[in-house]
Amino acid sequence: MKKIKRTVRRLTRTVTALFVTAALTSCGAPGDWEYDAELGTAQQATKGNLNNVQEECEDVLTVRLNAGWNMFSVNAEGDMRLDSILSSLDLQDGDFVASQMDGFAMYYDIDGYQGFFGSLETLEVGKGYKINLARAGELRLSSHHYRTVDPRETEIHLHDGWNWVGSTLSEALPLGRALAGFHASEGDIIKNDFADQRAIFRNGEWVGNVDTVGPGDAFKLQVRRGGCFTMGSAGSIDIPGNVLPTDDEDEPKEEKEELVTGQDKDADAVIKGDDPKTYAKVNIAR
């Protein structure tokens, strides 16, 4: 009988160790867990205190994405492959991700193949992206694979005209403070059409309904002079570029965006609300 009890205890510890190893690998198993070799039963072990593991494996970024079109960004570095970053989403055949300059990719779930196919293979911190989803979900990045960047040391590069900008922040800041390092010009515009947010730089301040910039946020930013800056910082670096002429009106007469390839006079007409496959065909044909 004693031998049987000892054998059961050894098996219990083995099973518990395997359970904890799985929790450590998956990083962030539900509940508070902690392996204690002195615990005598599986029930005690699996309902102990894995607090340290939970803290080490917390999500460093969580972004809520709606069904349909969204703009998003990532503020952490690690495995930057598209499939890895979006692995927490319930992706469906036809879901679509687009960048401004680096191409696009579509998710396929047909004939035994699951994954993204297209020219966009990896994402970059500081850039904004558009995504069209059949189902709402949460984009989550775990500290097991990702580490947030320091926004004060992460430069965002801008060119004259429209830019898809991603947040590098780890906490939400008021718009003026988030863009304190950006030398805005009269008439510069920041917007996220999918969230009905828009602000214009007038008389030394941003005016509109873009109140804050937080982790995972992304916007389209129209600037009259290219440069680079860091979010949440008062410093910026100007890069010489073509200065756009100043109109008498508050806003530019014609908005232009550089979208995947070439210039579109009204890029939103191509992408917003359109079937992703139509969007792809339009841009591939160029």
pLDDT tens per residue, range 120-130: 999 999 999 99
d(C-alpha 214, C-alpha 221), whole Å = 15
284: closest CA among 250, 260, 255?
Answer: 260
For Cα atoms 111, 122, 260, give the angle at the middle one, nearest 5 degrees: 90
Helices (H), 99-233: 175-178
Task: Summarize the confidence of residues 64-93 as an average pLDDT.
Answer: 97
Helices (H), 94-207: 175-178
Q: What does R_g of the chain's alpha carbons equal in angstroms?
A: 24
Structure confidence at residue 35 (pLDDT)? 36
Provide the total of helices (H) and of strands (E) in the chain, helices listed first.
Answer: 7, 21
| Reported confidence tier of residue 233, pLDDT bands at 50, 70, 90 | confident
The answer on pLDDT for 39 being more than 60 is no
How far, CA to CA in Å, does 10 sit from each of 16, 24, 166?
10, 21, 51
Structure confidence at residue 185 (pLDDT)? 93
Give the number of other Cβ atoms within 10 Å of residue 27's Cβ.
Answer: 16
Structure confidence at residue 272 (pLDDT)? 42
**In the chain, % of residues over pLDDT 70:** 62
d(C-alpha 155, C-alpha 195), whole Å = 25
Residues in the chain: 286
The answer on pLDDT for 2 being more than 90 is no
Round the average pLDDT of the chain to a whole number and report it: 75
The answer on pLDDT for 229 being more than 90 is yes
58: closest CA among 148, 149, 182?
Answer: 148
d(C-alpha 234, C-alpha 213), whole Å = 16
Task: Summarize the confidence of residues 89-111 as an average pLDDT.
Answer: 96
Structure confidence at residue 282 (pLDDT)? 37
135 vs 226 pLDDT, higher one: 135
Structure confidence at residue 58 (pLDDT)? 87
Task: Summarize the confidence of residues 57-86 as an average pLDDT.
Answer: 95
Token digits of residue 68: 């349909």
